[in-house]
Each structure stands twice: as C-alpha cells, then as structure tokens.
C-alpha cells in the first residue's frame, strides 16, 4: 500500500509543477489549441473563442509525472517490475506519440484537425493489435473473456482471438477518451475516477492471490494505476475550468491506452465499459449521430451536436454545469463497477 501512496503522491506533485512549467514554455512558443468554429457538417459549435491561445499538449506532463511516480515507487523493497507492465508502458507511449504528432500538426497548421482521421484511425487500430500481440506473445496473460476475474465468464478466445478482442478494446477506449476531451477537465476528471478504481481492483487481486491467480504481478499494476491517478490530480489543478492548458491528443490517447491495458491485465474486460461509462456515453453519441444522419439522407440529427457534451451546451447548460454533472455520472458508474467487483470478490472469498 505504501508504494501505491508513494506513486500517487510523487505523480501528483510532479504533475502539478510540470504542468505549470509546461504552460509557461508552450505559451512562450505559441503552442496553443486552435478553436473550432464549425464542425465537419458546418454546424456552429458552442462559443469557446475565449479559449483561443490556451496551450495544448499538457498530456506530456501527465504521462511524464505518472511514469516518474511509478519508477520512483520501486525503490521500496518488494516492489518489482514485470515485463507485462513494461510492455504496457511502451504501448501507452506509442499511442501518446500518435497524439503528439496530431497535436503538433494542429498547432503548426493552426487548424483543429491534425492527422486525417481515416489515416489516424487505421494507424491506431494497427498499433492496438500490435500492443495486444506483444502482451499475448511475451507474457502469460490470460486469454479468456472476463468480467471481474478470468474465469467469469471465462470464454476462451485463444491467442489469435484474444489479440483481435484486446486490440479492439484498446482502439475503442483510446478513441472514446479522445472524444471525451472536449471540455475543461472532463477527460482528466473522469479518468481520475477510473484509475483509482483500477488501483483498488489490482490491490485486491494482490491481497487475494488464491482468487486472482491469473493476474500477473497485480501489485505492479496497482502502482501504475495509482501513479496515473495522481498525475491526473496534479494536471486538473490547471486544467479545471477555466483551463489554463489542454491535455491534447497526446494525453487523451495515452490515458485511453492506459485504461484499456489496465482492464486487460486485471481481467476486467467487460467491467471496463461500466468503469468508463461516461466515455462510452460520449463516443456512443457520435456513433448514433452519424447513423441517424446517414440513414435520413443527411437531413436529420439525433442531437443538436455531438459529442453529447456539446449538445447540452447548446440546450443552455453552462460548460461548468456539464462538466460537474458528467463527473458525477462518471463517479457513479465507477462506484457501480467497483461494487460489482467487490460483490463477486465477497462471494468467492466466502467459499
């Protein structure tokens, strides 16, 4: 437990000061987020012009702080690295690098769209499968579909099937977090709840190896999750409305990959959509909007604008109201997911 607190505390402090430093550096270089006036269908978006000039790529501070917190916590005796966690970190950094490229193109071109979305989608999907393949070939990760543990429901996919399954989970989660990152503090705040849940889940698995014997080095996973939670806390100090910095795609893709990989390695695949329900809600609104729009010959839309946080802005909710209410929904969904996990744990422990 001390290593978890150490990782979270160090990551929080580093993120707090690193984000402030990053704000100064990025402002001096003019690395600001272009503000979208219209979406792809030429619909007006909520008035966010006051955010013009706000630095982006703040996700660099989150990732750096999380990794430093994770590494420093290993000075304690008994906290050991696992090849699984190291593969996860490489995967997170790879996804974040795609986001960094996208952010750089946006800033330099002074437009809201970076890498053409179809190209970016294909690249991130291919990388998702590659990360999943590395996990299944280089570690002893369980290849069954899981809810709260590997044998529930325990459907065996085999190596190839698991790579497809896991790759789609990584791809979907990274994109869902990216879509959520549209209002000040929304993505970082909801991710904070999720990382805290994964830290708790992994720690319970560590303390009860007789039940969760298929989780590889759960203590190391708990430390990693705690470090990311702490990094989100420090970043939120500056990213809360009115934001002084945005996380950018480098942060959104990195956090999304981290959440997906924690679900895969803690054998909580089917629990992930509940833990990240707000992200599912956000990307689901985009899918529904596109489906209705195309099905009606581009004449009707389900929402005034998607992602759905913009819909609520357009119906009159202030931005801070949308953020806080979405945070509450994120907290409730994480609590529900953790309750499901604990209920199953209690039942197994009583046997």
- pLDDT tier at 115, thresholds 50, 70, 90: low
The tens digit of pLDDT for each residue in 30-59 reads 766 666 554 545 455 566 666 677 898 999
Spatial contact of 146 and 269, defined as CB atoms under 8 Å apart: yes
User: Regarding beta strands 144-149 and 152-156, do their DSSP bridges make them parallel or antiparallel, or are they unpaired?
Assistant: antiparallel
The tens digit of pLDDT for each residue in 143-152 reads 999 999 999 9
Q: How far apart are the first and last CA of the chain?
A: 26
pTM: 0.94
**How crowded is residue 37: how many other Cβ atoms within 10 Å of its Cβ?**
12
Residue 111 has pLDDT above 70, yes or no: no
What pLDDT was estimated at residue 42?
A: 42
Q: For the residues 86-102, what does the mean pLDDT come to?
A: 95
Task: Give backbone dihedrals phi and psi of 56, rounded to 5 degrees, phi first.
Answer: -120, -175
What gap in Å lies between CA 293 and CA 23, rounded to an integer? 39
| SS3 state at 148 | strand
Q: Which of the two residues, 258 and 81, has the higher pLDDT score?
A: 258
What gap in Å lies between CA 151 and CA 90, rounded to an integer? 28
For the chain, helix, strand, coil in percent to 5 are 70, 5, 25
Spatial contact of 224 and 91, defined as CB atoms under 8 Å apart: no
- Beta bridge pairs of residue 172: none
Residue 137 has pLDDT above 70, yes or no: yes
Q: Please state the separation of Cα 88 from the chain's center in Å.
A: 13
The tens digit of pLDDT for each residue in 166-220 reads 999 999 999 999 999 989 999 999 999 999 999 999 999 999 999 999 999 999 9
Residue 155 has pLDDT above 90, yes or no: yes
Please list, residue by residue across 13-25, b when 16 or more beta carbons sit within 10 angstroms of its beta carbon and e when fewer do: bbbbebbbebbee
For 150-196, strand residue ranges (E) read: 152-156
Task: Tell me the angle at which helices 248-265 and 83-109 cross, rounded to the nearest 10 degrees.
Answer: 160
Please provide the average confidence, as pLDDT, over all residues in the chain. Answer: 91
Q: For the residues 249-257, what does the mean pLDDT come to?
A: 97
Tally helices (H) and strands (E) across the chain.
12, 2
- pLDDT tier at 120, thresholds 50, 70, 90: confident
**How crowded is residue 343: how many other Cβ atoms within 10 Å of its Cβ?**
11
């Amino acid at each position: 437990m001390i290593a978890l607190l150490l990782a979270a505390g160090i990551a929080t402090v580093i993120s707090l000061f690193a984000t402030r430093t990053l704000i100064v550096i990025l402002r001096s270089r003019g690395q600001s987020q272009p503000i979208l006036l219209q979406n792809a269908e030429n619909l007006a978006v909520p008035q966010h012009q006051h955010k013009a000039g706000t630095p982006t790529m703040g996700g660099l501070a989150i990732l750096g702080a999380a990794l430093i917190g994770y590494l420093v916590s290993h000075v304690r005796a008994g906290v050991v690295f696992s090849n699984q966690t190291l593969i996860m970190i490489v995967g997170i950094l790879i996804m974040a690098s795609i986001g960094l490229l996208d952010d750089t193109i946006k800033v330099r071109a002074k437009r809201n769209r970076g890498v053409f979305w179809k190209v970016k989608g294909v690249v991130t999907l291919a990388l998702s499968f590659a990360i999943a393949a590395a996990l299944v070939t280089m570690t002893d990760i369980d290849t069954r579909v899981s809810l709260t543990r590997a044998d529930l429901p325990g459907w065996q996919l085999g190596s190839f099937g698991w790579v497809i399954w896991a790759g789609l989970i990584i791809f979907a989660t990274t994109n869902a977090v990216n879509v959520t990152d549209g209002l000040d503090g929304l993505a970082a705040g909801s991710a904070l709840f999720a990382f805290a849940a994964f830290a708790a889940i992994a720690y319970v698995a560590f303390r009860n190896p007789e039940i969760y014997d298929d989780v590889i080095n759960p203590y190391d996973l708990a430390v990693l999750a705690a470090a990311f939670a702490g990094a989100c806390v420090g970043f939120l100090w500056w990213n809360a409305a009115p934001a002084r910095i945005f996380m950018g795609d480098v942060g959104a893709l990195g956090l999304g990959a981290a959440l997906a990989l924690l679900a895969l390695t803690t054998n909580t695949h089917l629990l992930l959509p509940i833990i990240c329900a707000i992200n599912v809600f956000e990307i689901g609104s985009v899918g529904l909007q596109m489906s209705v729009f195309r099905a009606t010959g581009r004449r009707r839309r389900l929402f005034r604008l998607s992602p759905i946080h913009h819909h609520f802005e357009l119906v009159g909710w202030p931005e801070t109201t949308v953020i806080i209410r979405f945070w509450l929904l994120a907290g409730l969904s994480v609590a529900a997911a953790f309750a499901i996990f604990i209920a199953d744990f209690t039942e197994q422990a009583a046997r």
